[in-house]
Amino acid sequence: MPHFSVHIREEALDGTVEPKLIRALADAVGAVYGEGFRRLVGVDLIGIPRHRRGVGGVPADGDAPLVTLSMREAAYHVPEVPDAPARLIGATTDALAGVLGEAVRGQVIVTIVGVPDGRTGVAGAVA
């Protein structure tokens, strides 16, 4: 199951942005893997207070999020989806810029994490 953890400045989350971000990120995964995969996407939006995020040793004031997408390692190597990691990074960045505005595009950081088989579970069972 693809899972996004999105750390974003708390002030950017105003009650209207959250559903748009959740939908856009699910759509991004669906654009890469197909609509059926979209329904499996989990998203956690984590608000960070101003001055509690930094880049290069300097506090960052922008709204651009730090995003981690994790899912099974094998999903990044599906023959039907060439260049899956690059496509996911691009689609994720496009989704965030589409919701938050183009000004954040250059600041978006996306990390793709592969989880080995047998290291995730659903309802108490290894999936």
**Reduced to 3 states, what is the DSSP secondary structure of residue 9?**
strand
pLDDT value, residue 115:
94
Cα four-point dihedral sign 116, 78, 126, 122: positive
Residue-range domains of the chain with CATH: 3-126 (3.30.429.10)
User: Which of 104, 112, 106, 109 shows the shortest CA–CA distance to 12?
Assistant: 104
Average per-residue pLDDT for the chain = 91
User: Which of 48, 52, 60, 43 shows the shortest CA–CA distance to 8?
Assistant: 48
pLDDT value, residue 107:
87
Which residues, 6+ apart, have CB-to-CB distance to 101 below 8 Å?
A: none
Given pLDDT bands bounded at 50, 70 and 90, which one contains residue 61? low
